[in-house]
Amino acid sequence: MDLIQRVQQHFEESIAAKMAAVEVLSPAIALAAEKVVQTLIADGKILACGNGGSAADAQHFAAEMVGRFERERPGLPAIALTTDSSALTAIANDYDFDLVFSKQVHALGRAGDILVAISTSGNSANVISAIHAAHDRQMTVIAFTGRDGGQIADLMTGDDVNICVPHPRTARIQEVHITAIHALCDAVDFMLLGGD
């Protein structure tokens, strides 16, 4: 395989992963959008967390909510728990890295809010801890996972939504996650603003 074929293989695998996920994930993404809109209408907010590429996805999602996705609208209350370096390093240093998100969820989350919890494996300890904290605060969890959903799949309660990408490879899971996040943002805007 030459270098061009190797590059093309990434595109082909990404397309195949998205096509395999479209029927499986669309109902969960639509349900997640309904929950987000219900929370926003009730004057709630969204907290988002993840590690590495999933941290970037959490920040990307929060930016789409606070700024805009594709249509002009007022900002929507969303906070990425991955951006406050002072809080992250203080919690990691004084307590444990597994608590960097859960301490923030306990401090900022309120009943009726949503936690967007992103983990490609479904096994990230600090994201799992954040889910426990969200449930303690009577928050709904929207999880973005992959493979079999890992430990996070077992933590989902009746009001939670697990958007689990049916693929074994981390890169493909991340690529489907960002498409799912964009679809979620679009669905939220559609419900709030109407239109095509």
Known binding positions for Zn(2+): 60, 64, 174, 182
Q: How many other CB atoms are found less than 10 A from the CB of residue 21? A: 24
C-beta of residue 141 within 8 angstroms of C-beta of residue 117: yes
Residue 7 CA to residue 175 CA, distance in Å, equals: 15
Beta bridge partners of 47: 79, 115
E strand or H helix at 121: none
List binding-site positions.
Answer: 51-53, 60, 64, 93-94, 119-121, 124, 174, 182
Q: How many other CB atoms are found less than 10 A from the CB of residue 187? A: 20
List binding-site positions for substrate.
Answer: 51-53, 64, 93-94, 119-121, 124, 174
C-beta of residue 141 within 8 angstroms of C-beta of residue 131: yes
Q: What angle do CA 31, 36, 37 make, to 5 degrees?
A: 100
